[in-house]
Amino acid sequence: MKNIFSIWQGRKDSGASFEELVAPHIDRLYRLGYRFSGSQHDAEDLVQELLVKLYPRAKELASIEKLGPWLSKSLYHLFIDQVRRSTNSPVVLSEEVGVVLESVACVNAGPDTYMVRQQQFSKLEKALFSLNVDQRTLIAMHDMEGYTLPELTSLLETPLGTLKSRLHRARAMLRTQLAE
């Protein structure tokens, strides 16, 4: 994802300041995009589309106080728009998942530990992607990325009580899926 800025290298306008603004947020945006879409390719496309749309608004981005949450919200809205336009189901398990999850595995672990972790990752991922888009988004943003519920009320434009009940139901569904 770091090579995304090569698109703008030849330009003389606000490309450098745009890169300085968004570069610290690329990894988080990619992780969110991956958790939303379930595919490395789709996550990269999602982040790239967001950056392409925001590039002409670089000066406006500089005036945003908390750019990270704002970018996450924009990525979420872009994803939801893509889901609405799509005629296919947005929940597709990717074959690329193993590559991403391998980077999380402990390097010093033996083959038995590695195999158990791979099975746990596969089971967790299957359970996560069995949730609907709203539940998966909430779990990803709250439990995985660390956004607080008050922050999510603003990002997702949903009342606090609704978020609490959705988070509770999503966690309960995850527990059920993982218990099976």
Taking the C-alpha atoms of residue 21 and residue 68, their distance in angstroms, rounded to an integer, is 10
Do residues 67 and 61 lie in contact, with contact meaning Cβ atoms separated by under 8 Å?
A: yes
Q: Against a cut of 0.75, is the pTM above it?
A: no
Residue 26 within a domain: yes
Same domain, 71 and 103: no
| Number of domains present in the structure of the chain | 2
Taking the C-alpha atoms of residue 122 and residue 116, their distance in angstroms, rounded to an integer, is 10
Q: How many of the other CB atoms lie within 10 Å of CB of 52?
A: 12
Same domain, 20 and 40: yes
Same domain, 80 and 23: yes
Q: Tens digit of pLDDT per residue, the chain (180 long)?
A: 445 544 444 444 444 588 888 999 999 999 999 988 888 999 999 999 999 999 988 888 888 888 889 999 999 989 988 887 775 444 444 444 444 445 444 455 567 777 888 888 888 888 888 888 888 889 988 988 888 999 899 888 899 999 999 999 999 999 998 888
Same domain, 20 and 42: yes
Residue 36 within a domain: yes
Check which CATH number belongs to the domain holding 151 and give it: 1.10.10.10
Taking the C-alpha atoms of residue 88 and residue 96, their distance in angstroms, rounded to an integer, is 19
The helix, strand and coil proportions of the chain, stated in percent and rounded to the nearest 5, come to: 75, 0, 25
Same domain, 43 and 110: no
Instruction: Indicate the DSSP class of residue 15.
Output: H
Residue 91 within a domain: no
* Category of 148 on φ-ψ map: left (φ > 0), alpha (ψ -120 to 50) or beta: beta
Residue 92 within a domain: no
Residue 7 within a domain: no
pLDDT one-digit tens code per residue, 26-69: 999 999 999 888 889 999 999 999 999 999 888 888 888 888 89
pLDDT at 16: 55
Task: For residue 23, give its domain range.
Answer: 13-85
Locate 48 and state its tokens. Answer: 């790239």
Same domain, 68 and 105: no
Q: Return all residues near 174 (Cβ < 8 A) that are at least 6 apart.
A: 127, 128, 131, 139
Same domain, 74 and 148: no
